[in-house]
A = this chain, B = another copy of it.
Amino acid sequence: LTRASGTVTKEKYDVVIVGAGVIGLSCAYHILSQEPSARVLVVEKALSAGQGDTAKSAAAFRNVFTSEVNRLLADTSVDFYSHIQNDLNFPLNQEFVGYLWLLTSEMFEHVSPIIERIRKSGVALKIWEKEELTKILQGARLDVSHQDEEAKMMKLETITHALQGIKCGTIGPEKLVEFFEGEIKKMGAEIHYGERVNSIIVEPTPKLNLAREPLVWQRAMIAGVKTSRDEIRAECTITAAGGWTPILLDPLGIDSHIRTKKRQVFTLRGPKVSALLHTKGFNELGVLPLTLVPPCGIFMKPSRADNSIWTGVSDYIGRAFTFEEDPAAEDDFYTYNIYPVISHYFPHFVDVRPFNKWAGHYDINTVDANPYIFEHTGLIVVVGASGSGIMKADAIGRIAAAAHAKKDIATLYGGKHFKVSRLGVETRNVEPEEFVI
C-alpha cells in the first residue's frame, strides 16, 4: 500500500441540499431558522424552484387520519401555511374547500367506527346522507341501477353517504415554493439552479488517497456531491430529491427505502364541469370540495383559477416502479381508468376529454406511507412523503433540521414535540393508518 500525499480540503458549506422542491426548501428554511450562521447551499437541476414533482402535484391537504404521525405532520404544516398566509400576509392560495369522500353503504359501515375515533381526536368532520347529497350535487347520479349493465360489470355501487373533512383543502405549490425560496435567500442561503447532482461523494475518514477508497477496512462517510459543474464539499449532505433519490443512493449501496411511481393529473373543462365546480353548500367558497369517488379513490379537485376540475388516481398493482426524467401522462389512462367511473356518477363529464395533463412521481414508502428522515455518516436522507409532500413539507423540514442539529426532539408549528427517531429506519415508530378508503 502506498499513500499519495493528501491535501486538507476546507469544507465550503455546512449543508448541501440536493433538490429545490418543496421538501428541500423547507429543510433549508428550518435549518437556517434554527442555525442562522449555517452556510447552506441548495443544488437544483431545474432552472428554478419547485419545477419537479412539487409542480406536478394536485396540492391538496387534509387532517383526517387515525395515525398520530400523519395527523401531526399534516395538521401542523397546514397551520403553518395559514400563518404564512394570514399573519405574514404572503398569499399561498390556501383554500379550505374541504375533502369529500363519497361512500357506498359497505364503505360507510366499514369506516363508521374509524370516523368516530377520528372525530374524538378533535378533527372536524361532517357526515352527509344521500338525500342531502342528491340536492346539493345537482346532476350527479348517486344511484346505480341494476339495469345498468356497465355499472354491474364495473361493480359500481350506489353512493349512500359522504364524509366531509373541514380542515382540508388545496394550496398553490408555486406560492409555497416562492415563500420558502424568498426566505432562505434573505437568510443567506445560496441556490444553484440548472446544476445537476451526478453523484454523492463517499470518502474514507481519514482520507489516505489510496486506489479504490473507501476500502472495507476504512470508515466511510459522505463528503458532498459532484455536480454537472463542480465538486461541492459539505459537512452534511441532505438528499431531498423525492422519487429521484434511489438513483442517487443506489450506487452507494444506501437504501432509500422508497419506490418511485408515476402519478398523473388530467384537467377537465366545459359548461357542465363548471356547474359541478361551482357546487354550493359544502363550503363558504361555493365550490365542490376535493372529492374522492369509489371504488378506487379517483379524486376530483376544484381549481377555481382555471375554472376546471382536476382528476387523477393512484394506481397500485400493475403500475411499475420507475423514475423517468420527463414522465408523460397517458390519454388511455384517463380513458379506461378514470372516465368510466367519474362519468357514471357525474354525467357532467360525459364526452369531456382532458384539456391538459401532466405526470410526476410519488416517492412511496410502501410500508406506512410516511416520510423517512435518517442519518448516515454525513448524509441525511429525507424521502418518502408518498404523495403528501406539500401537505407535510413544513413539519418534514423541521424534523430534518432537528436531525441536522443532532436534536432528539423537533418542535413542530404550534409547539408540539416530535421525536426525530420516529421517522428513522431501525427506530421507526409510525402507527398504521386505518382511515384508508
Contacts and interface: CB of A to CB of B under 8 A. Distances in A.
Interface stretch (A171-179, A211-219, A346-354): A211-219
Given A1-B153, A212-B336, A317 B252 contact: yes
Interface stretch (A89-97, A253-261, A269-277, A409-417): A253-261
A305 to B, nearest CB: 27
Chain A, interface size category, equals: 35 or more
A434 to B, nearest CB: 11
Contact of A318 (B153, B154, B252, B376): B252
A320 B259 contact: no
A47 to B, nearest CB: 30
Nearest to A293: B217
A199 to B, nearest CB: 11
Given A150-B1, A367-B425, A320 B220 contact: no
Contacts of A215: 336-337, 340
A322 B246 CA distance: 12
Nearest to A318: B202
Contacts of A84: none
A432 interface: yes
A313 interface: yes
B296 A332 contact: no
A229 interface: no
Interface string A327-370: 00000100011101100000000000000000000000011100
B321 A216 contact: no
A349 to B, nearest CB: 15
A161 to B, nearest CB: 19
Contacts of A156: 217
B252 A211 contact: no
A216 B337 contact: yes
A298 interface: yes
Task: Give this chain's copy count.
Answer: 2
A10 interface: no
B153 A336 contact: no
B153 A216 contact: no
A319 interface: yes
A122 interface: no
A426 interface: yes
A110 B417 CA distance: 33
A135 interface: no
A153 B255 CA distance: 30
Interface in A280-320: 295-296, 298, 313-320
B340 A155 contact: no
A127 interface: no
Contact of A216 (B1, B220, B315, B322): B315
A314 B215 CA distance: 11
8 contacts: A1-B154, A156-B217, A212-B332, A214-B317, A220-B318, A250-B320, A251-B320, A317-B376
